Amino acid sequence: MTRGIFFRHVLREITVSTLVVALVLLVVLATYQLSFVLGRAADGQVPGAMVPELALLSLRTSLTVILPFALLLGIVLALGRLYHDNEIAAALACGVPASVLFAAAGVAIVVTTVLAGWTALSDGPRAARRVVELRTTALRNIASRQLLPGTFTSPAPGLTIYFGSNAADGSLQDVFVQRDLPGAAARMQVVLARSARYQLAPDGAAWMIELADGRSYEGAVGAADWRITTFARQVLKAPVPRASLRGPPRVDGLTNRELLAAGGPRQLAELHWRIGWVIQVLVLGLAAVALARLAPRQGRHARLPWAVLLFGIYAGLLTAGRTMLARGELPAAAGLWWTHALAIAVILVLLRVSRRA
C-alpha cells in the first residue's frame, strides 16, 4: 500500500515538473520563432497571413529537441525536491525500495519516448514539408509580385507586360503584352489592349491574364506573315516562375521510407538524427534518476547545472555525428550509435564527479 502511494506521489511530481519545464521551453521557443517569422514578414519575404502557421510549424519541428531536455530537467527537479525535503529518505526508512523511483520515472520516460518517436519520425517531417511549401509559395509570390505602372516587367519567362495606370477597380489600363509563342520558330505575340486583369490560376501553376478591347499581332521578327486580330476579350496563360529555397535540397521533410530509399549520406544522417533523439529520451531519463540524488544538506537545485551540461554534451555529440555522417566522413554503418555510447560514458563520469562535488 505504502509503495503504491509513494509511486503515485513520485510520478505526479515528475509529471508536473516535466510539463512545467516543457511549457516554459515551448513559450520561450514560440516567442523566438514568432519574432523570427515576423522579421521575415517585415522584410516582405513572407505574407503576414502566413506568420501564425509558420511559427506553429516551426515549433512542431522543434519538439524533438524540447522533449528530452524537458524530461531530464523535470526528473531532476522533481526528485531533487523529494530528496531535499527528506521525503525519499522517509519512504526508504518505511521499507519502500529505491526501485520505485525508477518505476515512476520509467512511466514518464515511456510516455515521453512514444511522444518523441511520433514527433521525430512522423509529425516533425510533416511539419517541415509544410514549412517548405509555404516558404516556396511566398518566394514565388515575391517573384511574381504586383506589377507597377509605367514599368516593363517580366512576371514569367518569355513574358513582358507594360501598362500606363491602375483603374479604381484594380484593372490595368493601356496595356502592352509581349510573349514568346511555343514552337520551333522564334515567334512572338504582341498585344495592345485598353484594359486587363490578372490572377493566379486555382492550381497556382500559371497566371491568367484577361485582356479587353485590343489588337493582337503574331509572327516572327523580320518575317512578313504577321497575323493581326482584333478582339473584345482574350485570355493569356503564362506559367508562374518556379521558386526554391537557397542551399542544398532539404531532407528534414522527407519521410523515413524516402530517406531509406535514397540511401545517400545526407539522407541516412537525417534518419539516424531522428532516431538518435528518441534514444536520447531513454538515456537521459534513466540518467536523470541517478543524477538527481542529493547528498545531505545539498540544495534542491544542486544537480541542475550538471543536467544542463549533460544535455549540452549529448546534443553536441549528436550534432557533430550528424554533420560527419552527412559529409561522408563516417561510414553509414556507424550511424549515430557511437554518440550514445560516448554519452553514457560522459554520464558515468558526471555522476562520479557530481557525487564528490
Statement to judge: residues 269 and 333 lie in one domain: yes
Q: Is residue 146 part of a domain?
A: no
> Given 209, 239, 269, which residue is the final one in a domain?
239
145: its cell numbers: 509580385
* d(C-alpha 104, C-alpha 288), whole Å: 12
State the total domains in the chain.
2
Statement to judge: residues 204 and 296 lie in one domain: no
Hey, how many other C-beta atoms are within 10 angstroms of the C-beta on 282? 18
User: Structural domain of residue 127, as residue ranges?
Assistant: 2-141+247-356
187: its cell numbers: 515567334
Using CB atoms within 10 Å of the CB of residue 213, give its burial: 0 to 12 exposed, 13 to 18 middle, 19+ buried.
Answer: middle
Position 46 scores a pLDDT of 64
* d(C-alpha 79, C-alpha 68), whole Å: 17
pLDDT at 37 over 90: no
Torsional class of 158: left (φ above 0), alpha (ψ -120 to 50), beta (otherwise): left
Statement to judge: residues 163 and 312 lie in one domain: no
* d(C-alpha 343, C-alpha 28), whole Å: 27
Q: Is residue 148 part of a domain?
A: no
Statement to judge: residues 48 and 172 lie in one domain: no
Tens digits of residue pLDDT in 127-147: 888 877 777 666 655 544 556
Statement to judge: residues 218 and 288 lie in one domain: no
Torsional class of 227: left (φ above 0), alpha (ψ -120 to 50), beta (otherwise): beta
* d(C-alpha 79, C-alpha 91), whole Å: 13
Tens digits of residue pLDDT in 248-292: 667 888 888 888 888 888 889 899 999 999 999 999 999 998 888
